[in-house]
Amino acid sequence: SAVISQKPSRDICQRGTSLTIQCQVDSQVTMMFWYRQQPGQSLTLIATANQGSEATYESGFVIDKFPISRPNLTFSTLTVSNMSPEDSSIYLCSVSTTGELFFGEGSRLTVL
Amino acid sequence: GNSVTQMEGPVTLSEEAFLTINCTYTATGYPSLFWYVQYPGEGLQLLLKATKADDKGSNKGFEATYRKETTSFHLEKGSVQVSDSAVYFCALSDLAAGNKLTFGGGTRVLVKP
């Protein structure tokens, strides 16, 4: 299994600002994923982050809006840039290990 | 592409009632199937999984059988408790899609005492 810590757990942000979410894993993992869960909806994959390479973004998500860093095998960050109220969501970090996907508790962002 | 469809909620039940949440999928390859649960205020947790046809996943009294012929993975529990109140997500991962998880829309279950 894997224990995943995310910071912040929640935040209230002003329109036009940017916020960086951190994800720390208690073991080295190759693949890390960032998901978004909009209010009342399911999870949507934003991007896959592998250490040593640029993140791979899903359709509808771009690097300028959601830049991702993956400096080592236990850590990643997701930045939500130039936020608007539509970005109010829970953002979840997840890792793949032993054939399973484990999730952090998520970062709940509210954009005013 | 891959997709997962599950019954919409909310589903409201009394304690000790039988719970079924339907889930069907579309996949290009041979996916693995999962049920995740999200308790109030918590992150997603893997509830159970099945990796091939006719496999049955089970955990905490919940069961789901991988039915290839009907492309389904329905979740069942014979006697629910108040503590089972949560949102349940059906999901699939497909090697052909890089093992990325595709989630259903989620079903909120509320169990009343």
Has residue B25 got a pLDDT over 70? Answer: yes
pLDDT of residue A99: 67
CB atoms within 10 A of CB A82: 11
Of A2-6, B2-6, B28-32, B66-70, give the lowest mean pLDDT range: B28-32
pLDDT of residue B98: 66
CB contact under 8 A, A105 and B106: no
Cα B10 to Cα B64, B86, B107, B108, distances in angstroms: 20, 10, 6, 5
DSSP helix/strand/coil, B82:
helix
The neighbouring-strand residues paired with A47 are A34, A57
pLDDT of residue B97: 66
Of A13-27, A43-57, B47-61, B74-88, give the lowest mean pLDDT range: A43-57
* CB-CB neighbors (< 8 A) of B106 in chain A: 41-42
Q: What is the DSSP string of B93-113?
A: E-GGGTT-EEE---EEEEEE-
* CB-CB neighbors (< 8 A) of A104 in chain B: 43
Contact status of A5 with chain B (Cβ, < 8 Å): no
Tokens encoding B19: 């719970």
Contact status of B7 with chain A (Cβ, < 8 Å): no
CB contact under 8 A, A42 and B99: no
DSSP strands (E only) in chain B: 3-6, 11-14, 19-21, 23-26, 32-38, 44-50, 56-59, 62-65, 75-77, 86-93, 101-103, 107-112
Has residue A92 got a pLDDT over 70? Answer: yes
Q: Select from A42, A44, A99 the Cβ nearest to the Cβ of B89.
A: A42
Has residue A22 got a pLDDT over 90? Answer: yes
CB contact under 8 A, A103 and B93: no
Average pLDDT over chain B, rounded to an integer: 92
Identify whether B10 is preceded by a cis peptide bond (ω within 30 of 0).
yes
* CB-CB neighbors (< 8 A) of A103 in chain B: 36, 43-45
Of A59-68, A90-99, B13-22, B78-87, give the lowest mean pLDDT range: A90-99
pLDDT of residue A97: 77
Question: pLDDT tens digit string along A27-84?
Answer: 999 889 999 998 878 899 999 998 888 899 999 999 999 999 999 999 999 999 999 9
CA A110 to chain centre: 15
pLDDT of residue B96: 67
Q: Are A33 and A48 in contact (CB under 8 A)?
A: yes
